[in-house]
Structure 1
């Protein structure tokens, strides 16, 4: 299994990524992955979050949400990728290398465990970053106050196992490359109100935390 990427390759991909950002400065996409998990879950979540951000925190994110496959170089056209699901995830060696290059080149991935995804995604992330670990993001990190204040960290949206919500990340030289939201199910709170019948204050917490993530990626 090959984990290293030459500096020349990274420089080339970084240049492509910069060109992509120029053309698609505030585009987002849902990440499609293999393994049988429901990557297509929460279909109304990201569109609702994008609209909330554009209406409330002065972003100009494209409200047309695309889907990209983890193996495709098309991911380099999107500075923000969102990934969710309940079950199995599988990254081939090629998937892992493509995703690693994307993240090292300036991209950002938000993975939201929709309940049941954690044991699979944590294993597959070792293929992407064999020498890095998911670590808890401190509550003082800018992602918790980029637009709205969350002094206690990630909000709890759905109970599931009743555990405390965790915001975990992978960093490189101080830059947050990847956010994994676990035991929160924040994406469910972004969905249309009738999908989960969450109280409005719960949905608003989820949307505000989502807006923090978006602002952290697009504005900071």
Structure 2
């Protein structure tokens, strides 16, 4: 069966071969809450669908209208099997409880590298920030170089990012963008870091050739599900 967990996922788990992220638009904070409750009922009332699904987490957007889904699979084939055999019954139950959900799309990734949390740091993330970085066509190879620059910038500016617990950089399998899944101590800590004066390292990140668009979103962890 499925059970709830208060623990946040570990993006560095070596078993994760296919981290998947998707977004739903639900419209209001009340519908956010209703949708999270419906997801919990739909999953807890059924057996865990596959041993290849390690965890499934849902986050409520601070915009009051979106939900982000993060599932950790051992491989994409296992996810495709789930879609064929177990997904629709869950979708139907959720849509009956909360009609009109807009499913924006699914992103498929592989994790490239992380700025992991310090040894002994037991702080619980109060804010999750995802940043999508789109690159111009034909610049697929620049994504890893850009991530390397960001990780170096974080290392060069530890005081300015004291509230950052970890950052995990994922490359989209279609070659077009990077997704950074970052754990912050709190919203205040994130805003303080964003207000810190820019350094030479960060200017190189912001002006990197081939960079097309950067889009950030803020979330709070709303539901974690793991096999019982």
TM superposition score category, shorter chain reference: under 0.3
Greater helix fraction, Structure 1 or Structure 2: 1
Higher RCO, 1 vs 2 (CA within 8 Å, ≥6 residues apart)? 2
With normalisation by structure 2, the TM-score equals 0.24
